[in-house]
Amino acid sequence: MRDIAFRQQVVTTLLLLLITFGLWFTAEPLFAAPAKWLAEVLLTTWLPGIVNGTISEPGALLIVTHFTDTNGAIALANEGEDGLAFRLNTRLVSYAIPFYAALLWGSRVDSPFNTFAWGLFVLWACMGIGLSAMAAKDLMLVIGEPFLGAAWVAPAPVIAVSYQFSVLLMPTLAPVLLWVLQLRGSPLWTRLEAQLESSRNRE
């Protein structure tokens, strides 16, 4: 019976993945909006002399800088002159939300709505930091020394690793870790503990 219940859990999660990713694909700007706002706050507070602001687009976030490109040379933009802008693909980090939703709603946890709401806040924070890391990578490659020489800017290798982690690992790792933490005490967690204990006893 435990194996059947666990298989049902897996099947339910897989079916929910189709639903949650479908909703995410059509409403991604709504799901990513809090993370975009947080990224703007982080970047404009952290780099006020470099980042002028952000512009939200469907599936993207434009980072507008105080710099311009004049005949291949990067320099501060004059007053009234448009600054360089970098477009970040927010879908690279926002798919963490439908992945997390399928994991959580496929599990029988206590107070699922409250649990999901807390999880969303954590994921939005991770996404906002991830978007900031993506922006830092673009600023490092295009703006160069004016950015790397600014106060509180990490060395280039740290920025590169942060970018890779934010794009390649965070969107899948954060939902799984969050789900495991919230799963404690649920029927699925109890079954898994019982199966693990049974395996140890057989050994």
Closest by alpha carbon to 175, among 137, 138, 126? Answer: 126
User: Which residues have CB under 8 Å from 38's CB, separation 6+?
Assistant: 124, 125, 127, 128, 129, 131
Residue 200 amino acid letter: R
Percent of the chain with pLDDT strictly greater than 90: 68
Question: Strands 51-57 and 60-65, how do they pair?
Answer: antiparallel
- Token output for 47: 């780099």
Enter the pTM of the model.
0.89
- DSSP structural state of residue 89: E
Indicate the residue type of 10: V
Structure letter (DSSP) for residue 109: -
Confidence of residue 188 (pLDDT cuts 50, 70, 90): low
Beta bridge partners of 65: 51
Q: What is the pLDDT of residues 13-72, one digit of tens each?
A: 899 999 999 999 999 999 999 999 999 999 999 999 999 999 999 999 999 999 998 887
Per-residue model confidence as pLDDT tens digits over 103-143: 999 887 778 899 999 999 999 999 999 999 999 999 999 99
